[in-house]
Each structure stands twice: as structure tokens, then as C-alpha cells.
Structure 1
Amino acid sequence: MKLQEHVYLMADYNQWMNQKVYEAASTLSPEQLHEDKKAYFGSVFASLNHICVADTLWLKRFSTVLDGYEAYKPIAALAMPESLNVFLANNFIDLKDRRVLLDEALLEIARLLTDDVLLQPVSYQNSKGVSANKTLFNLLMHLFNHQTHHRGQITTLLSQSSIDIGITDLVFIQPNVN
């Protein structure tokens, strides 16, 4: 499997899972969405928001490599989050709209990338100001892994409210081989 194919698979999986999580979360009342469940980010809403903040931050860091892509324009138009704790939306609908924008852009970018581009370095500073230089591929793998980690926390919070989002396995969307 080429690197680009793997990135596209992960972007496709992410979009599928985010749709499932947001659909499940949409059944909660605003009070339930914001209820402090003693999770790392407190509530379902804050956890969903954190994933959007982190994705926005990472995608903005990739501008040196992705800026020429038409599919990157919606990301380029977004403001860089000031911190990991900033709220990108005041309500669930606006947060879902941000999630959809991020997922659609990421999927289209993943479709267009080449292995050569994925192996290009991205220089950035982390939230503590430490400089790093990693390949776009490795940073995208981190982005996808980060989403999976926090979606797992969110599915636990949803299950505490008797909401089952169903199948979450990556293998479910992978095609069979002949």
C-alpha cells in the first residue's frame, strides 16, 4: 500500500467515524452535551471541540506543504486556534459544521497527495514552544491517532448515556481482497 492510499483510508475512516459520533451526540440535549462527566475535557461537547481544535492546529501547521492545494483553501481561511482550550463554537450545530469542513478538506487533500509530498518535512513548534521537524505523513498519522484516542473517550461518555454508536472498527470499511 502506498503512503497516499494509507492516508486516504485513514481520512475516509475518520470522516465515517466522526459522522457516527456526531450523529449519536446529536441525540443528547444541550445540557447533556455540556454536562461535566469527569472526563479529560469534561463534557462530550468539550471533547468534540478539542478534536476540532487539534485538527485545525495541525492542518494550519501543514500550510508550508499544502498551501498550493485548492482543497486546502477552507483550512487556510480558518484562524489558528490560540490555545488547545479555546472553544471554536458556542453550539453543537456550529461545531458539527466545523467538523464537516475539516473532514471534507482532509479527505480531498488526502485524495490529491503523492508519496513524495507526504515525505516532505514540516517544521513547527509545539504548544510548549519546542521546535520539531517531521514528515507530513508522520504528522498526519499523529492527527488520525489523536482523533481515534479522543473519539474512544467520547464513545465511552456516550455509552454512559446508553448511546451505542455501533461498529467502530477500521477493518469494517477496508475492502476485501481477491
Structure 2
Amino acid sequence: MSNQNLLIMAQYNIWATARLTQSLQLITSEDFHRDIGLFFNSIAGTLNHLLLGEHYLWFSRFKEGTSPTIALDTILHSDKNTLLNELNLKSQNWIDFIQQLDDERLKGQLTYRRVNGEQLTLPFAATLMHVFNHGTHHRGQITAALTMMGYPCPELDLVYMLAEQARTQS
């Protein structure tokens, strides 16, 4: 897996987070916090999990080599705008980090401790790809919740971002 592939996924993460944020501006605070049966209960709970997982756990593991221990369902922000702003800001951090990775690091291993204390050693690049796949998974849950509640839902497929990029480069 190359830096270029990972950069595309980091760009997609930024793009999809921004598009989802636009759609979430339309929903009420009540619907944002309503327990609708998602794994992390609500849209707010799921977004807090994304922020925590991508930026407080995984980014620390990759960039700093640390393994924070914080519950995966921790609510970092209950305010919608604060939560969405931090998600959007922190998503930018992956670009600089990935640009600095060399082939040796990408082909290496990542050793970290899970929240439960178990130590794992996994392929570095594939585990980094997991971070972006994880975000896609949870954004999909949120878009399904938006649809279920009758709100408009953004198209978040990667090909839509690629098409936008192609149009701007033409």
C-alpha cells in the first residue's frame, strides 16, 4: 500500500466528514441526541466515537506511539457544533502525518495496546487503512439514521469525491 493510496483515503475522510457536517446542520438537537438504536445509541454518540477513535486513540497510536485508555463510548462533546468542528479540524491532521511516512514505515508494524490492555502488533499500512474504513462504516450508520428520521442524506461514496476532483482538475 502506498502513501498515495492512504492520502486518497485521508482526503476522502476530510471530504466525507465535511459533507456529513453540512447535512447534520439541518437536524434538531433532539434528533441529534435521540437514541435510535445505533451501536453508540445516537448520532451524537456515534460522532463522539468517531472523534475518540480516529483522533484520540488511533492518531496517538500512529503518530506518538502511545496507547491511551479511554472508553470507546466516551462523550467528548455534547454540543453538536463543537463536536462537528473538532471532527473537521482533526481530520486534516492525517494528511501531514501520511505525507511524512516513508516506504519502510508503511511496510512495518504498529504495536499498541487496546483499550482493554491487550497488546497487538499489526501491519502498519493496513491498520492505518482500517482507521479510514472505520470512519466510512460509522458515517454509513449516520446516513442511514438521517434517512430513517426523514432528513436529506448526502452522497458519501468515494467516487463522488473523485468525480469532483476530476472536474476541478479539468
Task: Settle same-fold status: TM greater than 0.5.
Answer: yes
Cα RMSD over matched residues? 2.1
Which position in structure 1 is the counterpart of 2:158? Answer: 170
2:109–2:122 contact (8 Å) kept in structure 1: yes
Which stretch shows the higher mean deviation, 17-26 or 101-110? 101-110
The alignment status of 1:110 with 2:98, answered yes or no, reads: yes
Normalised TM-score (structure 2): 0.86
Q: Report the CA distance shift for 1:98/1:114 in structure 2 as closer, same or farther (over 3 A).
A: same
**How far apart, in 2, do the equivalents of 1:86 and 1:5 lie?**
33
Normalised TM-score (structure 1): 0.82
1:22–1:96 contact (8 Å) kept in structure 2: yes
Residue ranges of structure 2 left out of the alignment (5+ in a row): none
Letter in 2 for 1:113: L
Kindly provide the CA deviation profile for residues 33-54 of structure 1, in whole angstroms up to 9, marking residues without a partner as x.
Answer: 0011122111111111111111
- Count of matched residue positions in the alignment of Structure 1 and Structure 2: 163
Kindly provide the CA deviation profile for residues 101-159 of structure 1, in whole angstroms up to 9, marking residues without a partner as x.
Answer: 22111122223322222223221111232211123211111111111111110000011
The alignment status of 1:155 with 2:146, answered yes or no, reads: no
Which position in structure 2 is the counterpart of 1:47? Answer: 46
Identity among equivalent pairs (%): 27
Which position in structure 2 is the counterpart of 1:72? Answer: none
Q: CA offset at residue 81 of structure 1? A: 5.8
Which stretch shows the higher mean deviation, 134-143 or 151-160? 134-143
2:110–2:123 contact (8 Å) kept in structure 1: yes
Letter in 2 for 1:164: P
**How far apart, in 2, do the equivalents of 1:107 and 1:167 lie?**
23
1:64–1:122 contact (8 Å) kept in structure 2: no
2:49–2:73 contact (8 Å) kept in structure 1: yes
2:69–2:115 contact (8 Å) kept in structure 1: no
Matches for 1:69-80 after TM superposition, within 5 Å: 80=68
1:53–1:81 contact (8 Å) kept in structure 2: no
